Chain A
C-alpha cells in the first residue's frame, strides 16, 4: 500500500478524475448544448417541444458534471480553484449567468402561454456561450495565463489576457463539436422532420468541426508553453491516441449518420470528444494552468502548496470513488428508463 500514502499518487489521480469530470460534462451536457443552439430555428412548437423532451429528464444530471469538475478542483487544488476563478472573473460571470438561466428557461418555456421567442433565444444564447467560454478558458490554461510568483493572476494584466487566436479557435471548436454531438443525439432520439433536418445539417457540421480541430492542433504546435525544444513522449502518445479517436469518430459519424445505425453515429461523436480530452490531458500533465509570465510560475499539480494535504486528498478520493460508482449505477438505470424515441406527444412533463 505504498501508493496510499504517496501524495503524488493522489495528485495524479485527481488530475485524471478532474479531466474525467470535465469530459463527462462536455460529453453529456454537450448534446443538450448542441441541440439548444438550434431551438429558435425549429419550425413549430411541436418540433421545439419534441427536442426539449429529448433532454428534459437528463439535462440537469448532465450539467452537474460541470459543477462536480469545479468542485473537485476546489477540493483538491484550492490554489488553482481560487486563482482561476478570481482571474477569469468576468468570463465566469457570463457563463454562470447563462448556466443559471437554463433551468429558468425550461420552466418558463413550459408554463408560458404567450410568446416564447424570448425564452428560446435566451436558451440558444446560453447553449452557444457556455461551451464557447469553456473552450476559451481551456485554451487559455494551455496557451498560458498571467500567473505570478504568488500563484495569482498578476494585477498588471487585464481579464482579456485569456483571449488569443488559439483560445478563441479552441472555443469555436468546442462549440462545433457540441453541435455535431447534438445532431447525432437528435437522430438517435427522434424520428420525423427534426431528425431529418439534423441528418441534412450533419455534413456541414462535421466539416466545420474538422477544420476547427485541425486549426487548434496546428496552432498548438507553435505554442511556447507546450514546446520548449524537447519532444515529450507523453505528448506523442497522447497525440496518437487522440488522432485515432478523433479521426475515427469523424469517420464513424460520417459513415453512419444517414443509415439506421444512429447509435454508432452517437458513439462516433462521443469518440471525437474523448479524443480531444486525451490530447488536452497529455499536453497539460502535470500542469493545470500554464503561466504566460514564465514556465517557473506554471501551476503544476506536484508544486509545493498547490494541492491539499494528503489526508484531504485521501478522504475526498475514497468518498468520490464510492460516490461515483454508485452514481454510475443509478444514472445508467435512469437512462435505461428513458431510452427509446421521443416526440412532442410524449407526455414527459405533467
Chain B
C-alpha cells in the first residue's frame, strides 16, 4: 500500500470534514433560533419577532448554501478514497447516508426554500410549520450522521461472518443507538445551538456598538443571549457525561485525553501540560485525585493508563497520538469555558442595561463568537484522532478496522493530489464568500434596511 496515498487521503478527508463542520452547527443553531422567534411571532404577532426571524433566515441562506457546497464531497469520498471501507461497511454505512439524504436532508432543503421565499405566499401557521420542518429536518439529519459517526467509535450490533469475513448487522437499533450515540448527539447539538447563538449575540453587540436599531438589537440580545447562556452552562455537564462514557467504552482514547500512562488510584487531572510520548510522561499543572473523583466521585477509583496491557487488549496495543488529543481536548474546554464566562458577564451587564454603552466590552462579545467554533473543531479533532489508527474502533464483537485496510487499493497519487488541490481551491472560494458576505449581511442591519444595493 502506497503510504503517500493514505496520507493525502487522510489530509483531504480531514480538511473537507473540518472545513464543512463550521457550517452545519451554525445551520442547526439558526434553525432552532428561527423556530423560537417564529413561535413567538405566531402567538404575539409582534413585528419585531418577524424581523428577527427574517434576519436569521438571511444568514441561514448563506450558511446553508455553503454547508451544502462543503459537504458534497464527503459522501463521495467514501467511494473515491475509502473504497474498501465502503465495501466492508456499506451494508450499514451506505444505508445510513441514504436514509439521511432521503428522510432528513430533503425535508430541510425543500422547506429552507419555503422559509426563504414563501412568507407572503401562505398563512402564518403554515409558514410556522415550515420553520418546524426545517428544524426537524436539520436535527434528524444531524442525528443520523452522528449515529453513523458514533458507530465508528463504538460499533455495536454487528459481527464478522466467520467464513467470509463480511460485516453482518444483527440489529439496526443496536447499531444506531450504540453506546456513544445519544451523548454525542446531545453534546454536538448543544454546541451547535451555542455556536449560532454566539453569532447572533455578536450581531446584536455590533448593533449596540454602532447604535443601530437598538430596540430590535435588545430583543435579539435577550433571546440569543439566553440561548447562548443556557447552552454554555449545559455544555460542561453533557461533556462530562461524555467523558464518563469514553472512559468505559473507549478507554485508550479516554486515557490519552487525560495524558494518563500508569494505571493508578488517586489519578490526577491536568489543567494544562505537555505529554512527552517518547518517555511516556505527562507534566504540567495538575490536581491529584481529581480525575478519579470526576469519574466516580471517589479519589480511590483506579484509572487505567496507556501502559496497562489490559487497557490495550482490544486495540492490539495500538494507541492514538497522545499529546495531540491531550492538547485539543484542553483547547475545547478552555475555549468553551471562556465563552461561558463572557456570555455570563455580558448578560449580567445587559440585565443592568449598561452593556450597550461599554464599547470595549462589546468588542470582546463580538470576537467571542469565534470561540465556540474553535471549541467545536477541537472537540471533533479529539474524537476522531482519538480513534486512530482505526477507522472503525474495536468494540464488543467487532475487531476493528485500521485505515490501511480501508483505503482504496491501487489509487494513483496523481488522482489524490488532483482532488486535494481542486477541492481546497473551492474551499478557498467558499471561505472568501463566507468572510466577505457574512459581515456584510450583519452590517446591512437586522431589518435589512442598510443594504448597499445589489438586491432585488
User: Is the pair A64, B454 in contact by a Cβ cutoff of 8 Å?
Assistant: no
Partner of A78, one of B58, B90, B409, B419: B90
Give the nearest-CB partner of A66 in chain B. B72
B7 within 8 A of A: no
Given A86-B83, A323-B99, decide whether A107 and B61 contact each other with a Cβ distance below 8 A: yes
Question: How far apart are the CA atoms of A113 and B411 in the complex, in Å?
Answer: 43
> Is A108 an interface residue when CB atoms closer than 8 A count as contact?
yes
- Docked-complex contact B86 and A74, CB < 8 angstroms: yes
Cβ contact of B54, chosen from A61, A113, A155, A350, cutoff 8 A: A350
Instruction: Indicate whether B18 reaches chain A with its CB closer than 8 angstroms.
Output: no
Q: How far is the CA of A100 from the CA of B188 in the complex (A)?
A: 25
- What sequence of 0s and 1s flags, for each residue 32-61 of chain A, a beta carbon within 8 Å of any chain B beta carbon? 000000000000000001000100111011
* Known contacts A61-B109, A312-B95, A319-B99; is-contact A349 B62 (Cβ 8 Å): no
Contact partner of B101 (CB less than 8 A), chosen from A67, A159, A347, is A67
Q: A57 and B113 in contact (CB under 8 A), knowing A71-B101, A81-B86, A100-B70?
A: yes
A90 touches B415 (CB 8 A): yes
Question: Does chain A have a CB within 8 A of B313?
Answer: no
Select one of A71, A86, A155 contacting B98, CB under 8 A: A71
Contact (A82, B84) CB under 8 Å given A64-B109, A93-B418: yes
Residues of B contacting A: mostly: helix
Chain B 82-102: CB-based contact to A (< 8 A → 1; otherwise 0): 011011001111110111111
Q: Is the CB of B101 within 8 A of A89?
A: no
Spot the interface stretch: A133-141, A190-198, A247-255, A329-337: A329-337
How far apart are the CA atoms of A102 and B69 in the complex, in Å?
Answer: 8
Q: A89-B419, A96-B73, A101-B429 are in contact. Are A57 and B117 (CB under 8 A)?
A: yes
Stretch at the interface among B225-233, B256-264, B433-441: B433-441
Minimum Cβ distance to chain B for residue A276 (Å): 24
* Contact present for A104 and B113 (CB under 8 Å): no
Q: Within 8 Å of chain A (Cβ to Cβ): is B410?
A: yes
Chain B residues with a Cβ closer than 8 Å to the other chain, count: 78
Bound form: Cα–Cα A338–B122 in Å: 11
The answer to whether A82 touches B410, judged by C-beta atoms less than 8 angstroms apart, is no
Bound-state CA distance A82–B429 (Å) is: 29
A210 at interface, CB cutoff 8 A: no
Name which of B54, B65, B111 has the most chain A CB atoms within 10 A of its CB. B65
Query: Closest residue of chain B to A345, judged by CB?
Result: B456
State the Cβ distance, B353 to closest chain A Cβ, in Å.
Answer: 31
Closest chain-B Cβ to A192's Cβ sits at a distance in Å of 16
Check A224 for interface membership: any CB of B closer than 8 A. Answer: no
Asked whether B118 lies within 8 Å of A337 as measured between CB atoms, the reply is: yes
Q: A107 to B433, Cβ gap below 8 A?
A: yes
Is B72 within 8 A of A96, CB to CB? yes
B408 contacts the other chain (CB 8 A): yes
**Contact of A347 (CB < 8 Å), options: B80, B81, B433, B456:** B456
Q: Are A96 and B423 in contact (CB-based, < 8 A)?
A: yes
Nearest CB of B to A247, in Å:
34
Task: Assess A72 versus B98: contact at CB under 8 Å? Given A61-B110, A85-B76.
Answer: yes
Instruction: Decide if A110 is an interface residue (CB 8 Å cutoff).
Output: yes
B98→A103 contact, CB < 8 A = no
Please pick, from B98, B113, B122, B133, the residue contacting A68 in the complex, using a CB distance under 8 A.
B98
A344 to B456, CA, bound (A): 8
Closest to A79 in B: B87
A99 at interface, CB cutoff 8 A: yes
Residues on B with C-beta less than 8 A from A84 are 79
Minimal beta-carbon separation of B31 from chain A (angstroms): 15
Question: Interface readout for A97-138 with B: 1 if CB under 8 Å, 0 if not?
Answer: 101111110111011110000000000000000000000000
A-side contacts of B364, CB under 8 Å = none
In the complex the two chains form, what is the Cα distance from A312 to B89 in whole Å? Answer: 11
Cβ B456 vs Cβ A96 within 8 A: no
Option from A60, A71, A90, A107 in Cβ contact (under 8 Å) with B113: A60
With A67-B101, A86-B411, A89-B415 as given contacts, are A337 and B94 in contact (CB-CB < 8 Å)?
no
Q: Would you call A57 and B415 a contact (CB within 8 A)?
A: no
Contacts of B448 in A (CB 8 A): 350
Question: Is the CB–CB distance between B117 and A349 below 8 Å?
Answer: yes
B422 within 8 Å of A by Cβ? Answer: yes
Minimum CB–CB distance for A68 against chain B, Å? 5
Contact B418 A90 (CB under 8 A): yes
Roughly how many angstroms separate A138 CA and B409 CA in the complex, as a whole number? 23
The answer to whether A83 has its CB under 8 Å from any CB of chain B is yes
Query: Which residues of B approach A to under 8 Å, CB–CB?
Result: 54, 57-58, 61-62, 65-66, 68-70, 72-73, 75-76, 78-81, 83-84, 86-87, 90-95, 97-103, 105-107, 109-114, 116-118, 121-122, 133, 166, 168-169, 172, 408-411, 415, 418-419, 422-423, 425-426, 429-430, 433, 436-437, 440-441, 448, 452-456
By a beta-carbon cutoff of 8 Å, the part of chain A in contact with chain B is 49, 53, 56-58, 60-61, 64, 67-68, 70-72, 74-76, 78-79, 81-86, 89-90, 92-94, 96-97, 99-104, 106-108, 110-113, 152-153, 155, 159, 308-309, 311-312, 315-316, 319-320, 323-324, 327, 330-331, 334, 337-338, 344-350
7 contacts between A and B (CB under 8 A): A61-B113, A64-B101, A104-B65, A309-B91, A327-B110, A331-B110, A334-B114
Beyond A86-B80, A350-B58, 15 additional contacts (C-beta under 8 Å) are A56-B116, A57-B114, A61-B113, A64-B101, A71-B94, A71-B102, A74-B90, A82-B90, A90-B419, A110-B455, A308-B94, A312-B92, A334-B118, A338-B121, A349-B117
